[in-house]
Amino acid sequence: MKPERRRRKPQRRSGKQGGRPKKPKRRRRDLLAYERGFWGCGRCVAGVDEAGRGPLAGPVVAAAVILPEGACVDGADDSKVLTPEVRTELYDCIMATARCVGVGAASVREIDRRNILRATTVAMQRALDRLGEQPDHIVIDGLPVTHLGREHDAVVDGDALVHSIACASIVAKVVRDRLMHRLSHRYPGYAWDTNVGYSTPEHRAAIQALGVTPHHRLTFAGLQYELEI
């Protein structure tokens, strides 16, 4: 009888010659892909975004940012996913890098009188009016703004997809947060230094205990009914 031949187990190779195939490296997304389409035609782009549509107190603030051709602020992203410390650092970088920046706001009184959508439009119009130069093209985060009065593109999730919008998102958020921090010293007890006017349990409890201030939006979240106004 022939001796039984043992089957050798296949050996795994290690190192560069074998082993598990390496995952292909993901290509880094071009943060300026949207802007390059206009820069290539010699046109400048203004990205526009807002901060503060949802709070119970404080204004809604909008910012418009025009970046120089080819300029990228490393780390700029949707302001909501950044820490306050990172936002502040990026704000300084954006202000130093941008070709021009415009900031506009609509007051609590305007929000209550017009509604938040129209007040946000007003804030965006004011931000665009305060740019040092008029852009050739405007791109806004979200859906088209009917009464803006200017031709524009709208990009859903634009603050994560269009770099100019991401920069505008950060500027608007930092400006508004700083305003609410200042107001927190004039109206202690509402914790605006931490909640910046948004509806938190602490903020709502303070409204019930202390009443409303001139900076509260009485038409928001049924606030006028809760307080029997």
**Using 50, 70 and 90 to split pLDDT, how confident is the model at 150?**
very high
What's the average model confidence in pLDDT over 143-160? 95
8 occurs within a structural domain: no
Would you place residue 18 in the very low, low, confident or very high pLDDT band (cuts 50, 70, 90)?
A: very low
Q: What angle do CA 204, 206, 210 make, to 5 degrees?
A: 130
Is residue 12 assigned to a domain? no
CA atoms within 13 A on the CB side of 138: 23
Tokens of 216: 């509260």
Residue 18 falls inside a structural domain? no
Query: In which band, very low, low, confident or very high, does the pLDDT at 220 lie, cut at 50, 70 and 90?
Result: confident
Give the model's pLDDT for residue 81.
82
Residue type, 220: F
Domain of 103, CATH number, reads 3.30.420.10
Domain span at 168: 33-226
Residue 17, pLDDT score: 46
Q: What is the CA radius of gyration of the chain?
A: 25
- Answer yes or no: is 28 within a domain: no
In a domain, 177, yes or no: yes
Who wins on pLDDT, 135 or 225?
A: 135
Two tokens, residue 108: 């609590």
Residue 10 pLDDT greater than 50, yes or no = no
Residues facing 154 on adjacent strands: 140
Give the 3-state secondary structure of residue 176. Answer: helix
Report the alpha-carbon angle 126-159-131, nearest 5.
25
Residue 9 within a domain: no
Residue 60 has pLDDT above 90, yes or no: yes
Residue 68 placed within a domain = yes
- Which tokens go with 141? 């985060």
Q: Is the predicted pLDDT of residue 189 greater than 90, yes or no? A: yes
Domain count, the chain: 1
pLDDT single digits (tens) 28-40: 567 899 999 999 9
The pLDDT of residue 188 is above 70: yes
Q: Please check whether residue 176 lies inside any domain of the structure.
A: yes
